[in-house]
Amino acid sequence: MKVRFGMSEMMVVFATALLWHSVVGASCIFGLAVFAAFCRWAVEFSEKSKQAEASKQALQTLNEQAGELGSALGVMFGGAKKQNGNMH
């Protein structure tokens, strides 16, 4: 887990300092900080899920291509054995 000290965290610190002067202002800033942190989390979660889906798709494509290569090699080498068998 990454520990970061970004804009949302700075806003929470500012809201705490502002709490001595204005409870309403501090509450508004704290709410905005929570909303910003949630948005950041949602974007990061979306990126991770897209990356996982892309790697899953790449693995599926690689497996399909390996299967096609195996069948092509099987046909190629299977045909060579039949030719050698017919010559004797």
Backbone angles phi, psi at 19, to 5 degrees: -60, -30
Q: Which domain holds residue 21?
A: 7-87
What is the rounded CA–CA span in Å between residue 34 and residue 27? 10
Q: Is the pLDDT of residue 61 over 70?
A: yes
Number of domains in the chain: 1
Residue 68 carries which side chain, given as an amino acid letter? E
Asked if residues 8 and 33 have their Cβ atoms less than 8 Å apart, the reply is yes
What is the rounded CA–CA span in Å between residue 8 and residue 30? 9
Q: Is the pLDDT of residue 39 over 90?
A: yes
* Residue 66 lies inside a defined structural domain of this protein: yes
* Residue 22 lies inside a defined structural domain of this protein: yes
Q: What is the pLDDT of residue 79?
A: 66
Note the pTM of the prediction, 2 decimals. Answer: 0.62
**Six token digits for residue 35:** 């909303």
